[in-house]
Amino acid sequence: MVAIGHGRSASASAAIEQCCVALAGTQPRLLLAFCGGKHSGSEIVTALRAAFGPTVPIVGGSAAGVIWRDGLGYSGLEVGLVAFGPDDILPEVVVNRDLLEGERAAGRALGQKLAEIAAPESVVLMFYDSVANQSPLRLHPASDLVDGLQLGLADHRIRLIGGGMLTDMNLSDAWILDGASVVKHAAVALVFPPELEDETVILHGCRPVSTFMEITRIEGAEVFELDGRPALDVIERMLGVTLGSTSSHDLSLIATLGEKQGDPYAAYDENSYVNRLILRANRATGSITLFEKDFREGTRVQIMSRDNALMLDSVRNGIRAINQAQRGRRSLLAVYIDCAGRASVRSGASIEEAHLVADGLDHAIPFLGFYSGVEIAPFDGYSRPLDWTGLLTVLSTQ
């Protein structure tokens, strides 16, 4: 099984030294690194090269926080490492550095590469740069990246799992470790051989608080109208809140827009919803801007309230299910990709739901996680971006 290390220090080299204590005796053939955004990516790479040599591929990137077996942190000073040793199943690394030229085209090129080297139904872990521009803020939309990737794959099916990297919970910036260096506007994919399979659970925490409404005007990710009325007015009325012109950020902490999959009249099931976080609101136009731009005019949505009690119940149920599924299997690694909004500092939950994940998951399974901007998981037949979810994946063999 792989080795896990973590550290926390204002010094990149000191944080890596702490990681090395847990990795003592390990000779990694590949390192997966999640690094708090107060660290310089180049300093992290320099410290890792000093510790493990100049040729070991280093993949991963910046993270809004790191989650390990007996703790977590989002101060920006945390570092988490997964070391794949000589006897571990090793993935192949595929990189695209062209997100700034167009996320859909970059995704398509990446998908074409994956179709060439990935066996059918192979597990692929992908990490991408979430922030296209800092001021004004523009994100690299995962929906365009994944749609393009599916086009590039054509009929070739894989198990795509991943997340958007951030330097902090304020969406300040992001960077990617592509195997050899630190880069912006890139996506890195780890393609595992077919003998390795995943068991993935999506942990939710939202419930509908409105009837179905139709998006009647939308431009990209900016929703102007719901049922012919200003979207912001509709949401405020449904939630019973009035937001000032400077507090639109509050809206992202209490509500999402959700699209129910399958039968719209079926009984409530949290796993039937794809939710979209609200990035910002515009009082002047009465609009809201979502994290992704995959909703269209005519999409039927509901206002979803973020429910901390439901979130914790979802975690307990998901961990129970994944532990059951892993019985009798050889587990290589568990990765938890957790929406940054689920951290207690953002959600207001009385306990960290990530603690429940780390403590509840079978302790024999090597575990590491990070706080993300967007989570990507197999859903309803193919992979798609999700918001305000926790995505737990266990990689194992028979």
| pLDDT values of the chain reduced to their tens digit, one per residue, 398 residues | 799 999 999 999 999 999 999 998 889 999 999 999 999 999 999 999 999 999 999 999 999 999 999 999 999 999 999 999 988 899 999 999 999 999 999 999 999 999 999 999 999 999 999 999 999 999 999 999 999 999 999 999 999 999 999 999 999 999 999 999 999 999 999 999 999 999 999 999 999 999 999 999 999 999 999 999 999 999 989 888 776 544 445 677 788 999 999 999 999 998 899 999 998 889 899 999 999 999 999 999 999 998 999 999 999 999 999 999 999 999 999 999 999 999 999 888 999 999 999 999 999 999 999 999 999 999 877 899 999 999 999 999 98
Looking at residue 61, its amino acid is: G
Instruction: Please tell me the predicted confidence (pLDDT) of residue 245.
Output: 43
Residues 70 and 125 grouped into a single domain: yes
Determine the pLDDT at residue 250: 62
Q: Give me the number of domains the chain comprises.
A: 2
Tell me: do 219 and 127 sit in the same domain: no
Q: Are residues 82 and 184 in the same domain?
A: yes
Which residue segment(s) compose the domain that 179 sits in?
2-203+310-397
pTM of the full structure: 0.94
As to burial, measured by CB atoms within 10 angstroms (0-12 exposed, 13-18 middle, 19+ buried), residue 307 is middle
Check residue 243 and give its pLDDT. 63
Task: Please give the C-alpha separations between residue 206 and each of 49, 222, 252, 270, 316, in angstroms, as whole numbers.
Answer: 43, 21, 13, 7, 15
Assess whether 285 and 328 both reside in one domain. Answer: no
Domain shared by 164 and 103, yes or no: yes
| CB-based contact 226:215 (threshold 8 Å) | yes
In the listed set 247, 276, 306, which residue is the last one of a domain according to the structure? 306
Same structural domain, 24 and 165: yes
| Gyration radius (Cα) of the chain, Å | 20
Cα–Cα distance measured from residue 214 to residue 218, given in angstroms and rounded to the nearest whole number: 11
Q: Can you give the pLDDT at residue 355?
A: 97
Q: Are residues 168 and 213 in the same domain?
A: no
Measured CA to CA, the distance from residue 262 to residue 160 in angstroms comes to 21
End-of-domain residue from the set 288, 306, 324: 306
Of 306, 339, 371, the last residue of a domain is: 306
Tell me, yes or no, whether 219 and 349 share the same domain.
Answer: no
63 plus 186 within the same structural domain? yes
Q: Are residues 298 and 334 in the same domain?
A: no
- Within 13 A of 126's CA, how many CA atoms are on the CB side? 31
Q: Say if residue 120 is in the same domain as residue 147.
A: yes
The 390-397 sheet, strands edge to edge: 71-73, 66-68, 367-372, 330-339, 390-397, 197-203
> For residues 40 and 374, what is the distance between their CA atoms, to the nearest angstrom?
22
Pairing of strands 58-63, 66-68: unpaired
Q: Are residues 252 and 194 in the same domain?
A: no
- pLDDT for 380 equals 76
